[in-house]
């Protein structure tokens, strides 16, 4: 697999390397299924410290194909967290769910408090 070029790096070498690894794992496990990878929290706002955890959204295209794909995405997320040198939380979600929740917490958090790291940005077309 080719080196993952981040759209908007965090500026933290360790976090950016970890994000590139997460992208690589998900791209191998779910070819052509993920729309975008976002960080949220302190790494999105640029206020991270040496002790900050890394929070991510992995947004799947359209909707999860079946419950097994959802479960698999959560298992891959958990495995990535076990390998991480920092606390890592990955929330896999599909566009369909986000479309239904545009006015709710999850979608608003993605819209207003994240940084696109890799893939296509779905946020610009959203109205808050």
* CATH level 2 (architecture), domain 30-119: 2-Layer Sandwich (3.30)
Is the pLDDT at 97 greater than 90? The verdict is no
| CA proximity to 33, closest of 8, 7, 70 | 70
Taking residues 20-32, report their average pLDDT.
97
Q: Where are the domains of the chain?
A: 30-119
* Cα 95 to chain centroid, rounded: 12
In Å, how far are 106, 107, 124 from 100, measured between CA atoms?
Answer: 10, 9, 17
Give the model confidence (pLDDT) of 61-87 as tens digits: 999 999 999 999 999 999 999 999 999
């Amino acid at each position: 697999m080719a080196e993952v070029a981040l759209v908007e790096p965090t500026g933290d070498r360790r976090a950016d390397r970890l994000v590139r690894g997460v992208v690589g794992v998900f791209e191998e496990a779910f070819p052509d299924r993920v729309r975008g990878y976002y960080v949220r929290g302190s790494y999105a706002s640029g206020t991270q410290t040496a002790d900050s955890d890394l929070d991510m959204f992995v947004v799947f295209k359209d909707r999860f194909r079946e419950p097994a794909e959802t479960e698999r995405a959560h298992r891959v997320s958990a495995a990535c967290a076990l390998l991480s040198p920092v606390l890592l939380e990955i929330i896999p979600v599909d566009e369909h769910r986000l479309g239904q929740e545009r006015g709710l917490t999850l979608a608003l958090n993605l819209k207003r408090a994240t940084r696109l790291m890799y893939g296509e940005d779905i946020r610009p077309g959203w109205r808050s």
